[in-house]
Structure 1
Amino acid sequence: MPCSLCSLQAECDRAIPDTHGTSVNYEEYEELFKHLGQGRHQSCVVLTSREVPKRVQQLAGTQLSIRVFPVSGLQPAQAQQIFSTRGVFQGSSSEWSRLITYYGGNPYLLESLAATIQYLFDGSLTTFFDHNVLIFEDVRKLLDQQFACLSPLEQEIMQVLATQDMACSFAHLRSRLSAIPTTDLLEALQSLKARSLLEKTTAYVSLQPLLQDYLREKYLNNALSVSKATPEFKTFTPVAQRY
Structure 2
Amino acid sequence: MGKTSLAVKLQEQIHGDFKYVIRRSLKNAPPLSELLGSLLKLLSKDENIDIPDNINIRIARLINYLSSHRYLLLLDDGEEILQPRELMGQYRQGFEDYEKLFRQVGERPHQSCLLLISREKPKIIESLEDNTQRVRSYQIQGLDDEAAKEIFKIKSFSGSESRLNELINLYQSNPFKLNIVARTIQELFGGSVTNFLDQATLDFNDISNLIDTQFQRLSDLEKEIMYGLASAGQPLLLTDLRQQINKKGITDAMKSLTGRGLIEKTEGEKHFTLQRIVMKYVNRKLSR
Q: Which runs of 5+ in 1 are unaligned?
A: 223-243
- Does structure 1 residue 104 correspond to structure 2 residue 169? no
Separation of aligned partners in 2, 1:81 and 1:129? 18
Q: CA RMSD in A?
A: 2.2
Q: Is the 8 Å Cα contact of residues 95 and 126 (structure 1) preserved in structure 2?
A: yes
Q: Which string of whole-angstrom CA distances, capped at 9 and with x for unpartnered residues, describes residues 43-100 of structure 1?
A: 1122333332222122224962111223321233211222345x22011111111111
- Does structure 1 residue 70 correspond to structure 2 residue 139? yes
Q: Which string of whole-angstrom CA distances, capped at 9 and with x for unpartnered residues, describes residues 206-241 of structure 1?
A: 1110110010011x212xxxxxxxxxxxxxxxxxxx
Separation of aligned partners in 2, 1:208 and 1:155? 15
Amino acid aligned to 1:100? I
Q: Quote the residue 1:51 is aligned against.
A: 120
Separation of aligned partners in 2, 1:38 and 1:63? 7
Q: 1:16 to 1:34 in 2, by over 3 A?
A: closer
Q: Which runs of 5+ in 2 are unaligned?
A: 1-67
Q: 1:16 to 1:140 in 2, by over 3 A?
A: farther
Q: Quote the residue 2:71 is aligned against.
A: 3
Q: Quote the residue 1:185 is aligned against.
A: 250
Q: Is the 8 Å Cα contact of residues 61 and 67 (structure 1) preserved in structure 2?
A: no
Q: Is the 8 Å Cα contact of residues 85 and 216 (structure 2) preserved in structure 1?
A: no
Q: Quote the residue 1:132 is aligned against.
A: 200
Q: Quote the residue 2:287 is aligned against.
A: 221
Separation of aligned partners in 2, 1:157 and 1:9? 26
Amino acid aligned to 1:17? Q
The TM-score with structure 1 as length reference comes to 0.80
Separation of aligned partners in 2, 1:142 and 1:25? 27
Q: Quote the residue 1:206 is aligned against.
A: 273
Q: Quote the residue 2:152 is aligned against.
A: 83
- CA drift of 1:36 comes to 2.2
Q: Whose radius of gyration is greater, 1 or 2?
A: 2
Q: Is the 8 Å Cα contact of residues 84 and 218 (structure 2) preserved in structure 1?
A: no
- CA drift of 1:29 comes to 3.7
Q: 1:113 to 1:204 in 2, by over 3 A?
A: same
The counterpart of 1:166, out of the listed 229, 234, 249, is: 234
- CA drift of 1:140 comes to 1.2
Separation of aligned partners in 2, 1:203 and 1:122? 42
User: Aligned pairs, how many?
Assistant: 215
Q: Quote the residue 2:104 is aligned against.
A: 35
Amino acid aligned to 2:108? G
Q: 1:24 to 1:210 in 2, by over 3 A?
A: farther
